[in-house]
Chains A and B, each alone.
Chain A
Amino acid sequence: MAKVEELSGENLYACYQCGKCAAGCLFADHMDLLPNQVLRLVQLSDESVLSSRAPWVCASCLACEVRCPKGVDIAKVMEALRLLVLRTGETGLRLWEIPSGVPQIALVGATRKHTP
């Protein structure tokens, strides 16, 4: 998908599906697709990746980024996928469901990740 490539600035075809990113992702248990599977679908231009929960579970922790032997920054791919959804006007952030007592630093971080 050219758009993901452009938004992420990453060479998506460098990925050879070794799975190191998924092995190191501490959030993968909560994802419906593993980080490398997300990347595979993007390589195949499979648009179903846009309805995956994985980019929303990704915390941009960059554990995958420092591990990838091919220098692919998956966190940027996740951000690109979030933005492609957000820029259609969709958002999963429901302000009224935000737990009380969360500090500003968490709120600003979350709202930035959930707005285009």
Chain B
Amino acid sequence: MPNVARHPSRVTRHALPYFPGCALKDQAGHFEASAMAAMEALGWELSELPRWNCCGTVYSLASDDLMRHLGPVRNLVRVQELGESRLITLCAMCYNTLRRSSQFVGADPERLERINAFMDEEPDYQGGVEVLHLLQFLRDEVGFEEIAAKVKRPLDGLRVAPYYGCMLLRPREVGIDAPDSPGVMEGLLSALGAEPVDFPQKAECCGAYLTVTDPEIARERVEGIVSAARRAGAEIIATSCPLCQFNLEHHQADDASPVTRHASPVTVVYFTQLLALALGVPGDKLGFERLRFDPRPHLAERELV
């Protein structure tokens, strides 16, 4: 289907059910907008799941906590109602929670039966909906070669450190890539003409929700991650999680932050913003102004904006 993007009338044929989650409707609106624009440029449409509800953010690690799988399962029912079998996510936390829950109920018919018995408005969930992260879809279905062929504005060697964090990689059964040596974001960035910057901290935890209860611990985590990316020569860090994005921005902007006391902050963007930019979406549609540290000076140096 090489010419799909040039035939807008065909775009709707490629609609994909998509789960936004709370953050993408709020603090991470630019993550959603840039992803949608990028997918449109590739000839696909991310079509928001009707009547979706919060996934619960964190997957319950307790064996007896069926209640916390209800939210995820209800979303899977919505996919089933559309007659679809796949659900695309952008937020790494939603991805992890939905995918793990779908595996949890899929592994034991009795669990699923109890959840189905509890839901009285929805039809029973039959199982079998596959939860995917957009990065998986881009790699496995669209293909990086195809993406490279559609790049209109190569990123001209922009040095980008891909930051995975936890939820895309762990546990191994839901990881979109090898937990110890992931390469999917590097592959994508190379296809866009950027220079992926490798740094060992790319799969380390940003402190996650400890930012609420123990912000100093999250700050220390962010310091380790950002300074490593900076030492490795990154101009920009790319994320795929609104919580990583918040922590990496917030704890660098904090006055008390040791990260910024000695060096200038490293710009943090969503990977979809770079993807859409490279695919030719105008820079002013990508929400760069909503980022804590404006990437446009770096982009302007290469005449990308």
The reply to whether B58 and A104 contact each other, CB–CB distance below 8 Å, is no
Beta-carbon contact of A9 and B63 below 8 Å: yes
A63 CA to B64 CA, complexed, in Å: 23
Measured between alpha carbons, how far is A80 from B176 in the docked complex, in Å? 27
Q: Is A54 an interface residue (CB 8 A)?
A: no
User: Once the chains bind, are B212 and A73 in contact (CB under 8 Å)?
Assistant: no
State whether A109 touches B243 (Cβ < 8 A): yes
Given A8-B61, A26-B221, A79-B62, residue A105 in contact with residue B93 (CB < 8 A) = yes
A56 surroundings in chain B (CB, below 8 A): 213
Pick from B22, B63, B166: contact of A104, CB under 8 Å: B22
Chain B residues 243 to 292 lying within 8 A of chain A, measured CB to CB, are 243, 246, 250
- A112 CB contact (under 8 Å) in B22, B56, B63, B171: B56
Interface range on chain A (Cβ under 8 Å from partner):
35 or more
Q: Mark A78-116, 1 if CB is under 8 A from B, else 0.
A: 111001000000001100001101111111111011100
How many residues of B are in contact with the other chain, CB < 8 A?
A: 42
A110 and B209 contacting across the interface, CB-CB below 8 Å: yes
| Cα(A104)–Cα(B246), bound, Å | 11
Nearest CB on B from A20, distance (A):
13
B122 within 8 A of A: no
A59 touches B22 (CB 8 A): no
Interchain CB contact under 8 A, A103 and B26: yes
Complex Cα distance, B61 from A78, in Å, reads 9
A73-B171, A103-B246 in contact; A108/B208 too (CB < 8 A)? no
- Assess the B58–A66 pair: CB atoms within 8 A: no
Q: Which applies to chain B's interface (DSSP): helix, strand, loop or mixed?
A: loop
Query: With an 8 A cutoff between CB atoms, is B154 at the interface?
Result: no
Tell me if B213 and A109 are in contact (CB < 8 A). no
Residues of B within 8 A of A108 (CB): 22, 54, 56-58
Q: Which of A56, A98, A103, A106 has the most CB of B within 10 A?
A: A106
Q: In the bound complex, do residue A30 and residue B170 qualify as a contact, i.e. CB atoms below 8 Å apart?
A: no
Q: How far is the CA of A78 from the CA of B250 in the complex (A)?
A: 27
CB distance from B52 to the nearest CB of A (A): 15
Q: Is the CB of B213 within 8 A of A59?
A: no
Contact A57 B210 (CB under 8 A): yes
- How far apart sit A8 and B61, CA to CA, in the bound complex (Å)? 7
Decide yes or no: A114 and B213 within 8 Å by CB, A7-B63, A8-B61, A109-B93 being known contacts. Answer: yes
B26 proximity list for chain A (CB < 8 A) = 103-104
The answer to whether A105 and B217 touch across the interface, beta carbons within 8 angstroms, is: no
Q: Assuming the A-B contacts A108-B56, A112-B57, are A92 and B213 also in contact, with contact meaning beta carbons closer than 8 angstroms in the complex?
A: yes
Q: Which residues of B contact A110 (CB under 8 A)?
A: 209-213
Residue from B22, B65, B213, B221 within 8 A of A105 (CB atoms): B22
A59 touches B54 (CB 8 A): no
* Chain B residues in 8 Å Cβ range of A104: 22-23, 26-27
In the complex, what residues of A have CB within 8 A of residue B242's CB? 103, 105
Q: Within the assembled complex, what's the spacing in Å between the Cα atoms of A4 and B215?
A: 28
Contacts of B68 in A (CB 8 A): 112
Q: Are A106 and B221 touching (Cβ within 8 A)?
A: no
| Min CB gap A39→B, angstroms | 15
Q: Which of B57-93 contact A (CB under 8 A)?
A: 57-58, 60-65, 68, 91, 93
New A-B pairs, 7, CB < 8 Å, besides A65-B170, A99-B211: A9-B63, A62-B171, A104-B27, A109-B93, A109-B208, A109-B209, A110-B212
Listed from nearest, the 7 A-B pairs whose CB atoms lie closest are A109-B209, A61-B205, A79-B61, A62-B170, A110-B212, A9-B63, A110-B209
Cβ contacts A to B, 9 pairs, < 8 Å: A9-B63, A27-B210, A27-B217, A66-B180, A73-B61, A103-B246, A105-B23, A107-B209, A112-B58
Interface positions of B (Cβ within 8 A of A): 21-23, 26-27, 54, 56-58, 60-65, 68, 91, 93, 166, 170-172, 179-180, 204-205, 207-215, 217, 221, 224, 242-243, 246, 250
